[in-house]
Amino acid sequence: MPRTIRSGKPSGRPSNYEEKVATRFEDIRKMALTMTEKQIAKTLGVGYSTWCEYKIKYPELQENLKKGRESLVLELKSALIQKAKGFNYTEKKIIKENGVVVREEEYTKFALPDVAALNLLLKNYDEQWRNDPAEYELKKRAIEVQEKKLEQNEFGLLAQ
C-alpha cells in the first residue's frame, strides 16, 4: 500500500525500496565492483524482478550502479595497462627446516609485458591498430573483384 502524505510528512509503512535499497547506495556502489546485479539484489533481500523494476522506477539506483561500474572499469583499465607495460612485484619465500621457520627471503621480480594486453589496448586507443569490420569487408570485396578480372583476362587470353 502506498504511503500517504499528511501535513508534509509521509505516513504508513516504508516501502521495500526505501528500507532495503535507498539507504544502501554506498554499499551498492561497492558491491557493483565485484558482484552481478542478481547477487546485489539477493544480498539486499530483494527479488531480481523487483530489482529490475526499481532500476526503471528510481533513476538514482541506476545512477549508483553506474558509478560503481565506472569505478570498476577504471580499476580494470589500470590493471590492463600495468600488465601491458610489465611491472615489478615482491615475492616472499619462507625457508623452513623440520617444520620451523628459519628465515624469510624477499625478492623483487619483474612481470614481463603481456602481448595480448598490449594488442587490446592498442586496438582501443590507437586508430591504426583497429580492425574495422566495414573496412575489412571493403578490402575483401576489392580482392574478389580483382580475382574476377584476372579470371576474365585469363579466359580471354586463352580464347585468342
Per residue, the 3-state secondary structure of 26-70, as one string, reads HHHHHHCCCCCHHHHHHHHCCCHHHHHHHHHHCHHHHHHHHHHHH
Q: What is the pLDDT of residue 1?
A: 47
Q: Do residues 141 and 121 both lie within one domain?
A: no
78 shares its domain with 9? yes
Q: Which of 8-12, 37-41, 100-104, 112-116 has the lowest mean pLDDT?
A: 8-12
Same domain, 77 and 92: no
Q: What is the pLDDT of residues 11-34, one digit of tens each?
A: 567 788 988 999 999 999 999 988
List the domain range (segments joined by +) for residue 149: 134-160
CA distance 71 to 38: 19
Q: Is the pLDDT of residue 160 over 70?
A: no
28 and 96, same domain (yes or no): no
Same domain, 10 and 78: yes
Measured CA angle at 69 (ends 65, 71), to 5 deg: 120
Q: Pick the last residue of a domain from 24, 59, 83.
A: 83
Q: Are residues 18 and 58 in the same domain?
A: yes
Q: How far apart are CA 156 and CA 160, in angstroms?
A: 7
Question: Is 159 found in the same domain as 118?
Answer: no
Q: Say whether both 148 and 116 belong to one domain.
A: no
Neighbours of 28 (CB within 10 A): 21
> Is the pLDDT score of 92 beyond 80?
yes
Are 53 and 37 within one domain? Answer: yes
> Where residue 127 falls among pLDDT bands split at 50, 70, 90?
confident
Domain count, the chain: 3
Q: Is the pTM of this model over 0.75?
A: no
| 75 and 100 both lie in a single domain | no
50 and 108 together in one domain: no
> 71 and 145 share a domain?
no
